Amino acid sequence: MLEKDDCLERLAAARQDEVVITTMSVVVPWERWSNHPLDFASANSAMGHAADFAYGLAMAQPQRRVITLNGDGSMLMCLGTLVTMAQRPLSNLALVITENGRYEVTGNQLLPAFGRFSFAALARAAGLTSVREIGDEASFEEALPELLGAPGPVVHIWKLKRDQEGPPKPADPMRDRAWRLKVALAEKDEG
Ligand SMILES: [Mg+2]
């Protein structure tokens, strides 16, 4: 099993100009390791919709890599996104599901049926083919370049230890985050 913060630290160190979309339980931990103009946290109002937001962004910005860091509870809330990702595959799209079996934001409640279903199996059943579960450090290191650069859609499931962190408290209002991303995308387009 992996530590969430350890994974995020390594990803932040390797990340260059990829867009990184976070939501819910990943927002605050990611901000410990990254403060990049192409980070966007859709935490405040969009549980379940980080992956489809990222899908739309990847479609609109095909020259950029777009990586979503989605919680397992958030993914479970919007499984249809997996079907959409398979129906029209985007080579610049990568999705991480941080699987710890808990709804951290609301108090670490257990996900329904946790342990009796598989996100990897769900993703493959939806028609996605580049899918892997990652549960140890060696696999994580091996998989990181794939997450950052392999033709997508790539789906990685990080098998995480249960952490004890309480509800995240995003530092900036949603409107400020959206504005920062918009400016960063426009600057990159011009450059
Ligand atoms: Mg979770």
- pLDDT given for residue 80 in this prediction: 96
DSSP state for residue 106 in the 8-state scheme: G
Tell me the average pLDDT of the chain.
Answer: 90
Residue 167 — pLDDT band, cuts 50, 70, 90? Answer: low
Measured between alpha carbons, how far is residue 54 from residues 39, 65, 135, 139 in Å? 11, 10, 24, 25
Q: Does the pLDDT of residue 168 top 70, yes or no? A: no
Residue 131 — pLDDT band, cuts 50, 70, 90? Answer: very high
Helix (H) or strand (E) holding 22, with range, is strand 19-22
Ligand 1 centroid to Cα of residue 58, in Å, is 24
Count of domains for the chain: 1
Q: Give the rounded percent of residues in the chain with a pLDDT score beyond 70.
A: 90
Ligand 1 centroid to Cα of residue 78, in Å, is 14
The pLDDT tens digits for 51-93 are: 999 999 999 999 999 999 999 999 999 999 999 999 999 999 9
Average pLDDT of span 136-161: 97
- pLDDT given for residue 63 in this prediction: 96
Please tell me whether the overall predicted TM-score, pTM, comes out greater than 0.85 for this model. Answer: yes
Q: What is the CATH number of the domain that holds 117?
A: 3.40.50.970
Ligand 1 centroid to Cα of residue 8, in Å, is 14
Give the domain extent around 186: 4-190
Helices 137-149 and 4-14 sit at what angle, rounded to 10 degrees? Answer: 40
Ligand 1 centroid to Cα of residue 22, in Å, is 13
For residue 142, the SS3 value is helix
Residue 115 — pLDDT band, cuts 50, 70, 90? Answer: very high
- pLDDT given for residue 187 in this prediction: 82
Residues with CB under 5 A from ligand 1 (ion): 71-73, 100, 102
Separation of alpha carbons 12 and 127, rounded Å: 29
